[in-house]
Amino acid sequence: MHRLDKAQMVKAILLVGAALGFFTCSGDELQWYKGNIHTHTFWSDGDDFPEMVVDWYKNHGYDFLVLSDHNILSRGEKWKALRADQANVAIYKAEKRWGRRHVRTRIVDGAKEVRLLPLNEVRDLLEEPGKFIMIEGLEMTTSREGLAVHTNPMNVSELLSVERQSKRSVEQELEIHSHLVNGHSRATGKPVFWQVNHPNFKFSITGEQMADLELLDGVEIMNSSSNCYNLGDGSRPSVERVWDIANTIRLKSEGLPPIFGTATDDTHNYHRENPVVNGPGTAWVMVRAKSLTADSITRAMKEGDFYSSTGVVLKRLDFSPLYKTFTVEVDAEPGVQYEIEFKGSLSKVSIAHEHVPDVVDEKGIEHPVTANYLDHNIGKTFMSKKGTGATYRLKGNELFVRAVVHSNASPYFKYDEYSDFEKKAWTQPVGWKID
């Protein structure tokens, strides 16, 4: 693989510094901000107007939101013909919220179209500096023979367009995405957080493929869409396991910083009755940043100063490189029980593995599978404690350490393909370094 150039080395050094001490900054300087970095509107395949989507998040305690419609930025003039089932409920709700003259319509070739607000107009309606902001992004969406390559660049200022080409491999698609994001960040001088979305959607992206992406910032370890198979299936590992494998490979053999784990609701549906399926507000990130601005939020995420959640809120998250302690404390809900688990990989871990054959689906399409890694010290549980707080003292033999907080709080909903949707939280890896 290519070695890091000067700019990439600067990024790696910054990230090392973050890993060794990003939880030690004064609470007077930094604040926690709640956000969702992956959701959809009528601009692509969501089922509601962008201003209605943004209004929902603003009214439900979010500080920032990224609209990540497929291969498009919500800019310029756009009219869209809606299905009757979408139009009736969506237009009714929008007019009730904003007034009867809010939704503009026209007839084209006998079909009724609605005008969609671009981001600048949505911002005029709903942004409040210091209270709620929009961060521009998109979902770069390509595919190959039934496989899905979806990635999210966050904090962009122009459309990053990938020409569809069915003959490219998944690895080639990912490298093209990476090249576009890196080029844009260099050209603009702005931080861009770039993640792989739902790698287990159609079981398209493996841990090894992500491990080899030098500039990858994050991966969705939780996407609350019902077809993303966060927990894997009988023959393929969970995304959380894939995350540990990818980070072990990067730190052990590639000389690359870890990938950070995000949670998103990837919402397309805003009109369904309970139980919610792929509804809003089921998964998010909590970012510790200097200010509520796009650059500040993005920079904090690139430095790994955030955690991901499906319902658990943390009131303390501290890593001390001096004392080699990692402390997690929950902002507990009455009557809810918690368990804090510290996990990671050991420095002397082996990355020897057995190849797992591709899984062939009913259409004859081959889906790659992350290899079977034989060393149980990958993603090992170092310590587990019941209660609302716990501290893990690093022994010095860890490649990295992260925490997972489990709860017995009632889930938002159930998926048929696996167990209850657990309310939990995930921290980022700490204690790592690049040799």
Q: At what angle do helices 84-98 and 50-59 cross, to 10 degrees?
A: 60
Rounded Cα distance, 304 and 259, in Å: 9
C-alpha distances in Å from residue 168, one per residue of 141, 142, 200? 14, 10, 19
Phi, psi of 419 (to 5 degrees): -70, -175
What is the residue-wise DSSP string for 61-117?
T-SEE----BT--S-S-EEEEPPHHHHHHHHHHHHHHH-TTSS-EEEETTEEEEEEP
pLDDT (0 to 100) of residue 415: 54
Do residues 271 and 43 touch, judged by C-beta distance below 8 A? no
Provide the residue ranges of all domains of the chain, joining segments of one domain with +. 6-38+139-426
Residue entry with tokens 């970012």: 287
Output the tens digit of pLDDT for each of the chain's 435 residues. 444 453 444 444 444 444 444 444 444 589 999 999 999 999 999 999 999 999 999 999 999 999 999 999 999 999 999 988 788 899 999 999 999 999 999 999 988 899 999 999 999 999 999 999 999 999 999 987 789 999 999 999 999 998 876 678 899 999 999 999 999 999 999 999 999 999 999 999 999 999 999 999 999 999 988 789 999 998 899 999 999 999 999 999 999 999 999 999 999 999 875 445 568 999 999 999 999 999 999 999 999 999 999 999 999 999 999 999 999 999 999 999 999 999 999 999 999 999 999 999 988 999 999 999 999 999 999 999 999 999 999 999 999 999 999 999 987 665 554 445 789 999 999 999 987
- Tokens for 287? 């970012």
Q: At what angle do helices 119-126 and 50-59 cross, to 10 degrees?
A: 30
Phi, psi of 7 (to 5 degrees): -65, -40
pLDDT (0 to 100) of residue 322: 95
pLDDT (0 to 100) of residue 277: 58
Do residues 341 and 390 touch, judged by C-beta distance below 8 A? no
The whole model's pTM is what?
A: 0.93
pLDDT (0 to 100) of residue 312: 97
Name 235's Cβ contacts closer than 8 Å, sequence gap at least 6. Answer: 356, 359, 369
C-alpha distances in Å from residue 299, one per residue of 108, 119, 171, 314? 44, 22, 26, 21
C-alpha distances in Å from residue 203, one per residue of 150, 237, 343, 366? 12, 10, 24, 10
Rounded Cα distance, 18 and 93, in Å: 44
pLDDT (0 to 100) of residue 376: 95
- Tokens for 223? 């996407």
Rounded Cα distance, 222 and 239, in Å: 8
Rounded Cα distance, 219 and 56, in Å: 25
Rounded Cα distance, 258 and 278, in Å: 28
Do residues 324 and 431 touch, judged by C-beta distance below 8 A? yes
Do residues 307 and 427 touch, judged by C-beta distance below 8 A? yes
**Environment class of 65 (CB within 10 Å of its CB; exposed 0-12, middle 13-18, buried 19+):** buried
pLDDT (0 to 100) of residue 29: 85
Question: Cβ atoms within 10 A of the Cβ of 323, count?
Answer: 12
DSSP category for residue 409: S
pLDDT (0 to 100) of residue 267: 92
Residue entry with tokens 């998109």: 138
pLDDT (0 to 100) of residue 137: 98
